[in-house]
A and B are shown apart, each in its own frame.
Chain A
Amino acid sequence: MTTNRFDTNQAEPTRAETRRVTPAVDIYENQAGFLILADLPGVEPSGLNVEFNPPELRVRAQSTGLSYERRFELGSGVDPTTTSAELKNGVLRIELKKSEAVRPRRIEVRAS
């Protein structure tokens, strides 16, 4: 078995040492809307800030010694009133619904 050295020898982080981090994200789409997942390890719900000022969606978060930030531009196809955000195990999940105008519609075909 090989053993590793530790990657960092952490001292108590101070405010001056806050490191800016671009979190890794996944972006998914289905017929109803979009789903964004972002890795934000160490972030508490109180340290998270998700703002949607159309067309910009901005995610900012703080954890000890780290500051995460990422911005997205959303088109008018997103209904700004239907955004939801949830943080679990350091992963942020944002769901956005498409506005009615761009949602595909199912048309019932009846036998005549």
Chain B
Amino acid sequence: MLTRWNDFGRLGRLMNREQPEPVEAFDLLRREMNRLFFDFENGGISEEDFERGFPRVGLEDKGSTLVVRADVPGLGEKDVELTLDSSTLTIKGQRSDETPEGYSAHRKERRAYRFSRSFQLPTKVDTEKTEAVIKNGVLTVTLHKAQEAQPRQVTVRAS
């Protein structure tokens, strides 16, 4: 007989029974079961993260370029859309996360998401030179600062 488990409470009860059914040989249990929700620092995504902004997007100023990074696991190049004007970057994306066909879900921490976030860039950028790459679920956008925003080297002369 195949027992279908709907939740971990049921799983817990099944495991405590004296005569295990064959299917109970499966106890795909995580050690830290009580931690259903994590804050973003710990990896998972909570409702709070969605309110705060998802995905987390970081900026690195590399002098002549600005590098923007976003963690977007499961997204490929076709799932992300970028819009840029001289000082605003908008990132849109979508991931559908349905239960694979023919499976029942024991645990679903990963979630479907659809996001659109706009960022004010700290300097004007040359919109023609932007490069965007998505690799291993990380989106990296390299923006070249506009000429007037480029760092300048000042030569110090002996007087």
On whether the beta carbons of B43 and A8 are closer than 8 Å, the reply is no
On whether the beta carbons of B28 and A30 are closer than 8 Å, the reply is no
CA distance A28 to B109 in the complex (A): 12
Which residues of chain B come closer than 8 Å to A112, judged between CB atoms?
none
On whether the beta carbons of B29 and A28 are closer than 8 Å, the reply is no
On whether the beta carbons of B73 and A89 are closer than 8 Å, the reply is yes
Which residue of A has the minimal Cβ distance to B2? A104
Of B52-60, B125-133, B142-150, the stretch lying at the interface with chain A is: B52-60
CA distance A41 to B138 in the complex (A): 6
Number of A interface residues in the complex (CB < 8 A): 54
On whether the beta carbons of A72 and B30 are closer than 8 Å, the reply is yes
Which residues of chain B come closer than 8 Å to A34, judged between CB atoms?
26, 28
On whether the beta carbons of B119 and A77 are closer than 8 Å, the reply is no
Q: A25-B107, A25-B109, A90-B137 are in contact. Are A6 and B119 (CB under 8 A)?
A: yes
Which residues of chain B come closer than 8 Å to A3, judged between CB atoms?
88, 118-120
On whether the beta carbons of A76 and B25 are closer than 8 Å, the reply is yes
CA distance A66 to B71 in the complex (A): 12
Which residues of chain B come closer than 8 Å to A44, judged between CB atoms?
136
CA distance A39 to B77 in the complex (A): 17
Which residues of chain B come closer than 8 Å to A74, judged between CB atoms?
26-28
Which residues of chain B come closer than 8 Å to A28, judged between CB atoms?
99-100, 103-106
* Chain A stretch 27-77: residues in CB contact (< 8 A) with chain B: 27-31, 34-35, 37-44, 63, 68, 70-77
CA distance A31 to B2 in the complex (A): 8
**Interface residue A80 (Cβ < 8 Å from any Cβ of B):** no
* Max count, chain B CB within 10 A of own CB: residue among A26, A30, A70, A71: A26
CA distance A71 to B59 in the complex (A): 32
Which residue of A has the minimal Cβ distance to B68? A6
On whether the beta carbons of B73 and A40 are closer than 8 Å, the reply is yes
5 shortest interchain CB distances as A-B pairs: A90-B137, A77-B25, A28-B103, A41-B137, A90-B73
Please list 29 pairs of residues, one from A and one from B, whose beta carbons are closer than 8 Å in the complex, sorted by A's number: A3-B118, A3-B120, A4-B57, A4-B119, A4-B120, A6-B68, A9-B59, A19-B41, A21-B41, A21-B43, A23-B43, A24-B44, A24-B111, A28-B99, A28-B105, A35-B103, A39-B73, A41-B72, A41-B136, A42-B137, A63-B136, A70-B30, A73-B28, A75-B24, A75-B28, A77-B26, A91-B110, A91-B137, A98-B26
Q: A23-B43, A31-B2, A89-B134 are in contact. List 10 more A-B contacts (CB 8 A).
A: A6-B119, A12-B60, A26-B97, A27-B107, A34-B28, A72-B29, A75-B25, A89-B75, A91-B73, A91-B137
